[in-house]
Amino acid sequence: MSLMTEVGQKAFDLGVPLAVHMDVTYRCNERCVHCYLDHDDHGEMTTAEIKDVLDQLAEAGVFFITFSGGEVLMRRDFFEIVEYARRLMFNVKIKTNAVMIHEEEARRIRELGVDTIQISVYSHRPEVHDAITKLPHSFERTVKAIRFLREQGLRVTIANVLMTVNSSDHSGVQELAAELGVQYTLDPTITPMMDGDMSVLSLRIPGEELREIFRNPALVGNEEEFCAPPKPPSEEDLEGYSCSAGHSFCYISPYGDVFPCVQFPLPTGNIRQQKFLDIWNFSPQMNEVRSIQAKNLTVCSSCSHVSSCTRCPGLAYMEGSMRGPSTADCEKSFYRTGVPTANMLRQGLSKPRTMAINTAPLIQIRPIAVPA
Amino acid sequence: MPEACIYIARSSAIAARALAGEMMVMNSADSTFFTLNPVATAIFQAADGRTPLRDIVRDRVCEQFDVDPEQAQADAEQFVSELSSHGILLVSSQPLAPETP
């Protein structure tokens, strides 16, 4: 077990929020076709409010903080926020589209001791990337920014969200990443929009293409190991939890709402009304999330994939129950191994339905009304 | 011959946080990650650039932990040398201004 894994497990066992993802704004200069956010400002936290939250997070034991959005640089005070976070000795990661990063911004990011910058690149073909972001010349600007960041010696990761419109471009983006000297990560997850609109799910790549991706050693490493049939779950597996959401990780929106994860829109409290630690320690919703072990899952506890599935409780929640299955992850487990999931079998399916558009209720990440 | 005075300060390139009495430290320049035991944590927390290492060992280590002073000083010097080689601590024979991001 690596030292980092050991520390992560310790935080998980102690219920310490080791890592927090904070969206500082939902405003954005791009309009990506798959984005789940509403880009209007419904009352973002002020600079002073964010600094106060950072003080509270440091006191609560948070070590890793990821600033994301929207586009983080839409906030004029963004560098002031990062500087404050670094003075509090957080390990800071930034997620950005990078189109507003030039030499000066890259230098400032290096001076501030930012750990990693994750940048979305959808294709190696400018016309495809720009068609997804709906911002002309965004590919050119993003790639230029990556070069500025690399010149400063910063660690950059290209995040390549795969969907129908760019599903054949992953190898091109991987080559681009290699040429730029940056890391590459692929994500085939498309999330319902925050206003409950499910239409973006039609962008999810079809299962057959998912199967090909899972059998590409350049993307998954050891294909045989990655695609191996699931092992029967042990008792320990059934005592386990889905992920770190609510255990050692949480998400804070630009409006101060606290959720178990960025992909888990269960409101647990608002930092403008309560102290962070009160929400973290005493929110009934947070404690409910924490209480769910694999053996408590309504369908998945009897699934052969239970010990190896990437089941996301947030996506399951958006489908209607945080204890239920997440259809998108059922698909991944099936196309990875060829073994049907319990969720498919109970529906009499030998393979997933063509499109994984479910009948999820309209659960949304919205600002919670805060009295004036 | 008088013992050389060593001053230590935390680098501005690091991230650090205490977890259950141990300090997690990461250098953003190369992502090296350490956890420090309680004695090393006490030295790290006192590394303000102004207090000589021998005073830190006397006041923060020998006062709080049941250790032999000579052994504590030798261990502290070794610890400081190791963390300085990873860019976590800055070491000087003169007082150091604390680094800020």
- Reported confidence tier of residue A354, pLDDT bands at 50, 70, 90: low
Please answer yes or no on whether A113 and B14 come within 8 Å at the CB atom: yes
To probe the interface with B, which of A55, A66, A67, A91 has the most B CB atoms within 10 Å?
A: A91
Please answer yes or no on whether B26 and A7 come within 8 Å at the CB atom: no
Please answer yes or no on whether A3 and B33 come within 8 Å at the CB atom: yes
> Which range, of A22-31, A176-185, A337-346, A354-363, averages the lowest pLDDT?
A354-363
- Flag whether pLDDT at A372 surpasses 50: no
Give pLDDT tens digits for A197-236: 778 888 888 888 888 888 888 888 898 999 999 988 899 8
Q: Given 3-state DSSP classes, what are the helix, strand and coil percentages for chain A, each rounded to the nearest 5? A: 40, 10, 45
Question: Residue A229 corresponds to which tokens in the numbers above?
Answer: 């049939």
Owner of token pair 């947030």: A314
To probe the interface with A, which of B14, B28, B30, B33 has the most A CB atoms within 10 Å?
A: B28
The pLDDT value recorded for residue B73 is 92
The pLDDT value recorded for residue A242 is 85
The pLDDT value recorded for residue A40 is 87
The distance of A51 to chain B (nearest Cα, Å) reads: 16
The pLDDT value recorded for residue B3 is 57
Question: Residue A231 corresponds to which tokens in the numbers above?
Answer: 């092992």
Mean pLDDT of chain B: 89
Q: ipTM for the complex?
A: 0.89
User: Which of B13, B24, B101 has its CB closest to that of A7?
Assistant: B24
The pLDDT value recorded for residue A209 is 84
Strands (E), A232-316: 249-252, 257-259, 269-270
Distance between CA atoms of residues B46 and A145, nearest Å: 39
> Which range, of A47-61, A197-211, A249-263, averages the lowest pLDDT?
A197-211
Instruction: Give chain A positions within 8 Å (CB) of B18.
Output: 61
Instruction: Name the closest residue on chain B to residue A91, using Cα atoms.
Output: B15
CA atoms in the 13 A half-sphere facing the CB of A246? 28
The pLDDT value recorded for residue A367 is 45
Please answer yes or no on whether A113 and B16 come within 8 Å at the CB atom: no
Q: How many CB atoms lie within 10 A of CB A178?
A: 11
The pLDDT value recorded for residue A210 is 84
Give pLDDT tens digits for B19-55: 998 999 999 888 889 999 988 999 999 999 999 999 9
- Reported confidence tier of residue A360, pLDDT bands at 50, 70, 90: very low
Sorted by sequence, the CB contacts under 8 Å of residue A242 that are 6+ apart come out as A292, A294, A311, A312, A313
Give pLDDT tens digits for A63-76: 999 999 999 999 99
The pLDDT value recorded for residue A356 is 44
Say how far residue B98 (Cα) sits from the centre of its chain.
13
Instruction: Give chain A positions within 8 Å (CB) of B16.
Output: 89
Question: Residue B81 corresponds to which tokens in the numbers above?
Answer: 């040398």
User: Which of A10, A11, A90 has its CB closest to that of B15?
Assistant: A90
Helix intervals (H) in chain A? 3-14, 47-60, 78-87, 103-111, 126-133, 138-151, 170-180, 207-214, 217-220, 223-226, 235-239, 276-282, 284-291, 313-318, 327-337, 342-346
Is the CB of B19 inside 8 Å of chain A's CB atoms? yes
Q: Strand order of the sheet with strand B14-19?
A: B14-19, B22-27, B32-36
Instruction: Give chain A positions within 8 Å (CB) of B24.
Output: 7, 63
Please answer yes or no on whether B24 and A63 come within 8 Å at the CB atom: yes
Is the CB of B28 inside 8 Å of chain A's CB atoms? yes
For the CA atoms of A92, A97, A100, A105, the dihedral, rounded to the nearest 10 degrees, stands at: 30
- Flag whether pLDDT at A368 surpasses 50: no
Distance between CA atoms of residues A48 and A60, nearest Å: 18
User: Which of B14, B19, B31 has its CB closest to that of A7?
Assistant: B19
Instruction: Give chain B positions within 8 Å (CB) of A89.
Output: 14-17
CB A105 within 8 Å of CB A82: no
The distance of A92 to chain B (nearest Cα, Å) reads: 8
| 3-state secondary structure (DSSP) of residue A82 | helix
- Reported confidence tier of residue A279, pLDDT bands at 50, 70, 90: very high
Mean pLDDT of chain A: 90
The pLDDT value recorded for residue A153 is 96
Instruction: Give chain B positions within 8 Å (CB) of A92.
Output: 15, 28
Give pLDDT tens digits for A110-144: 999 999 999 999 999 999 999 999 999 999 999 99
User: Which of A4, A10, A11 has its CB closest to that of B33?
Assistant: A4
